[in-house]
């Protein structure tokens, strides 16, 4: 039989908790190149869908790590799950949380584009976004719109975790300056800055940064489902949604002390 792999399966010390269509897969793929980080490749959905299976089940999914390594998992739906902050806090109040945020309007269109690729007969983006378009009444019950109310969701997390334990990654800067954004992630996780400019190059076809690999093996780019061409949305609709999100964005910037420049 194969010798047992060294190390132990440990509960994650850091979790990418959000947000859907923000750039969470990129953050995970980039950080797992780090020798001191081991990440679970799939989304376990423990704190939202599988909680009753218990912490030992959750631990059994984790990659083996040495004492010097940290374990990371990502499930972007945690950010909008009411019970998740309390459940994660109950696992460990020391857990570091990573939230990848992106302009909520672009994020909603990306979300819709993904859904449309699976269910081609859903209503239009515009139809789902508004309860009454002429009155400019946005339908906040539609998840694609609701997820982008970052300040609102963040309140639940701040009941359990201090801001110092939550790191916000800009989904936009992750594309324009992956090394800079990942530098801050490495600092937040308390690991040395191994990932630098020389690890990334921009793939013009995908519109995404890719990772160069050591020893000249094939570069690592995000999968086919990433970098989809977004559905074309009427400029007026985008303008109305920008107006809708503006006060929410400002509140979010003030809460986290960071301006993401979505205006």
Tell whether residue 227 is among the known ligand binding residues.
Answer: yes
Give how far the C-alpha of residue 18 lies from the chain's centroid of Cα atoms, to the nearest Å.
4
Tell whether residue 42 is among the known ligand binding residues.
Answer: no
- Does the N-terminal peptide bond of residue 27 adopt cis geometry, omega within 30 degrees of 0? no
Tell whether residue 23 is among the known ligand binding residues.
Answer: yes
Q: How many whole angstroms separate alpha carbon 36 and alpha carbon 66? A: 9
From the number of C-beta atoms within 10 Å of its C-beta (0-12, 13-18, 19+), residue 232 rates as exposed
Is 119 part of the annotated catalytic residue set? no
From the number of C-beta atoms within 10 Å of its C-beta (0-12, 13-18, 19+), residue 190 rates as exposed
Tell whether residue 223 is among the known ligand binding residues.
Answer: no
Sign, CA torsion 24/28/31/33: negative
- Location of structure tokens 């109310």: 149
Tell whether residue 148 is among the known ligand binding residues.
Answer: no
Tell whether residue 229 is among the known ligand binding residues.
Answer: yes
Tell whether residue 143 is among the known ligand binding residues.
Answer: no
Q: How many whole angstroms separate alpha carbon 20 and alpha carbon 113? A: 13
Given 21, 74, 204, 206, the catalytic residue:
21
Tell whether residue 230 is among the known ligand binding residues.
Answer: yes
Tell whether residue 21 is among the known ligand binding residues.
Answer: yes
Tell whether residue 71 is among the known ligand binding residues.
Answer: no
List residues forming the annotated binding site for 3'-phosphoadenylyl sulfate.
21-25, 102, 110, 226-230
Residues acting as catalytic residues: 21
List residues forming the annotated binding site.
21-25, 102, 110, 226-230
């Amino acid at each position: 039989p194969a010798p047992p792999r060294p190390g132990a399966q440990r509960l994650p010390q850091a979790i990418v908790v959000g947000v859907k269509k923000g750039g969470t897969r990129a953050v995970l793929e980039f950080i797992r190149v780090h020798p001191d980080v081991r990440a679970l490749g799939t989304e376990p959905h423990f704190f939202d869908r599988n909680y009753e299976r218990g912490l030992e089940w959750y631990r059994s999914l984790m990659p083996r790590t040495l004492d010097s390594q940290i374990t990371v998992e990502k499930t972007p739906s945690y950010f909008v799950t009411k019970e998740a902050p309390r459940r994660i806090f109950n696992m460990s109040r020391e857990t570091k949380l990573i939230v990848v945020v992106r302009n909520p309007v672009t994020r909603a269109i990306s979300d819709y584009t993904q859904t449309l690729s699976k269910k081609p007969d859903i209503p239009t983006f515009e139809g789902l976004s508004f309860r009454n378009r002429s009155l400019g009444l946005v339908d906040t019950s539609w998840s694609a719109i609701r997820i982008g109310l970052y300040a609102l969701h963040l309140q639940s997390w701040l009941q359990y975790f201090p801001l110092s334990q939550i790191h916000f990654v800009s989904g936009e800067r992750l594309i324009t300056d992956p090394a800079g954004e990942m530098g801050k992630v490495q600092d937040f996780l308390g690991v040395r800055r191994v990932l630098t400019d020389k690890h990334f190059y921009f793939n013009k076809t995908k519109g995404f940064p890719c990772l160069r690999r050591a020893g000249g093996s094939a570069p690592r780019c995000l999968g086919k489902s990433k970098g989809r061409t977004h559905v074309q949305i009427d400029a007026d609709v985008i303008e109305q949604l920008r107006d809708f999100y503006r006060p929410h964005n400002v509140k979010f910037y003030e809460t986290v002390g960071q301006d993401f420049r979505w205006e």
